[in-house]
Structures are given as C-alpha cells and as structure tokens.
Amino acid sequence: MVTYRLLIEYDGASFAGWQIQENQMTIQGALEKALYVLFRQDIRLVGSGRTDAGVHARGQMAHFVAPRFIEPYRLRKSLNGLVPATIAIRSVEEAPTGFHARFDATERGYRYRISTEPFTLERGFRWLVRPVPNIDQMNQAAHFLVGEHHFGSFCITQSETQNRICLVSRAEWTSEATEGFYCFEIAANRFLHGMVRTIVGTLVEVGHGKRSPESLKTILAAQDRRRAGYAAPAHGLVLEYVRY
C-alpha cells in the first residue's frame, strides 16, 4: 500500500464540480475512473475540498492509497493520458502513510478575477463587472473579513450543527498589469460552501455603493445567509493552492 499526493489543475467549465455524482462529469469521477484503469480496482480519491460546478483549480491537492508502487513520474504520465484534456495532473509524489489531503491541509488560497473594462481572452476566467466599482471601498470592506469569524452569512448550505468558524489570513483586492483587471486574493484555514463567491458578490455590491464597507461587520454578526449579497459567477474563481 502506497499513499500518493496529486497536484491537480482543472477547467471547471467542463465539470459538474469536484465531487463524484451519478451521470455527471466530475473531476473526482474522471480521476477515479483513470485510477481504476491503472490499478484494476476501485480506489477512492480524497480532495483537499470540493469545488462547485464551474470553479477552476490550479492547485487542488488530493491523495489516494494504491495497492502497489508505481514510479511517481510514470504515474503522472499515465494519469495525464487517461483523463480529459480539461484536467492536468501537475505533479505526483509519494506521501507519508496516513497523509490526508483534506484533514492535513492548513491553508487554502483562492483568487477571484474581475475586469471593469471589455476583454475577451480571459472570458472563461474573469467576471466583467460594470459599472466600474470602487475598489478602495471593496478593500475597506474586505478588511473586516480578516481574522477568526463565524461565516454563516456567507455559507450556502443549510445546517445548524456544522462548524462555521473560519480563520481568514488574507482578503485583498489588487490591481493587475492590464488596465481594469483586478484580482481578489483570499486565504483561510478552511472555506464553507459558496463562501468565496458570496463574499465577492457582496464586496462588488459595496463597490457599487449599495452597501457600506462597515456593513460587512453587521453581515458577519447576523450569521444569516440572507443578509449577504448575490454569489458572483463560478467562472471567475480559481483554487490556487493548498498548504500542509
């Protein structure tokens, strides 16, 4: 038995999300199918977390336990040959026995990209936000998210028991080299379902003057999804990295 750790990139537009589902093309499903072809038995692949339909990843991490050893370099090559072109296994490493891609992760980093000006080359990866929002106000609002908070207002899933506390270490809009391109970088120990997109949608409402930056404090305190804004579209979001 050998534990392997995979660094995976995928184009979310081609999938109904990470998690395996019957009759749906999912990233986990495509990878488990490839593992079956290689090892001739069912192998469970565990991701660092799920990404929703349409959300991309440049740095998703996953692990699986294989019944026999294959050279990591050969494993990467074989898997890349077996998955659709919209998935790329960037690296394969042997991991210590017991390594867990989800439980051992200490930080996840996402980026959400927008443009305030017309563009086309990145249209599958960037949200066109018009009219031009006030980025300074969005940054003031984002600042209130940093730290340990209850993020129930930014979570789609209905459940009273589950832990909603996240420690956000970074939440910041930066301007990119191209005029009108902005990137929201957010890092936390964990993320809730729909959290980044709901944060981005709410911050854009701040940028459009529909909410004040300070309103983020009230939204957090409410612990109620109905208090936050619309979720931003999935295609602007990329899971950039997972740290262990």
Residues forming contacts to a copy of itself in the complex (CB under 8 A) are: 9-11, 56, 58, 76, 80, 85-90, 117-121, 123, 125, 178-179, 238
Check residue 200 and give left, alpha or beta (phi > 0: left; psi -120 to 50: alpha).
alpha
* CB 42 within 8 Å of CB 36: yes
Nearer to a copy of itself, 109 or 229 (CB): 109
**Min. distance of Cβ 177 from a copy of itself in angstroms?**
11
Q: Note whether 192 and 151 are within 8 A (CB).
A: yes
Tell me if residue 42 is catalytic.
no
Q: Is 48 or 116 the residue whose CB approaches a copy of itself more closely?
A: 116
70-72-78 Cα angle (round to 5): 75
Nearest CA to 109 among 182, 200, 171? 171
Quote the least distance from Cβ 188 to a copy of itself, whole Å: 22
Asked if 10 contacts 56 with a C-beta cutoff of 8 angstroms, the reply is yes
Rg (CA), the chain: 19
221 phi and psi, to 5 degrees?
-65, -30
Give the nearer residue to a copy of itself in terms of CB position, either 15 or 191: 15
List 29's β-bridge partners, or say none: none
Cβ 115 to a copy of itself, closest distance in Å? Answer: 9
Q: Which of 11, 42, 52, 104 is catalytic?
A: 52
Nearer residue to a copy of itself within complex by CB, 58 or 225: 58
The C-alpha torsion from 191 through 195 and 197 to 203, rounded to 10°, is -110
Task: Output the smallest distance, CB 213 to a copy of itself, in A.
Answer: 29
* Residues with active-site annotation: 52
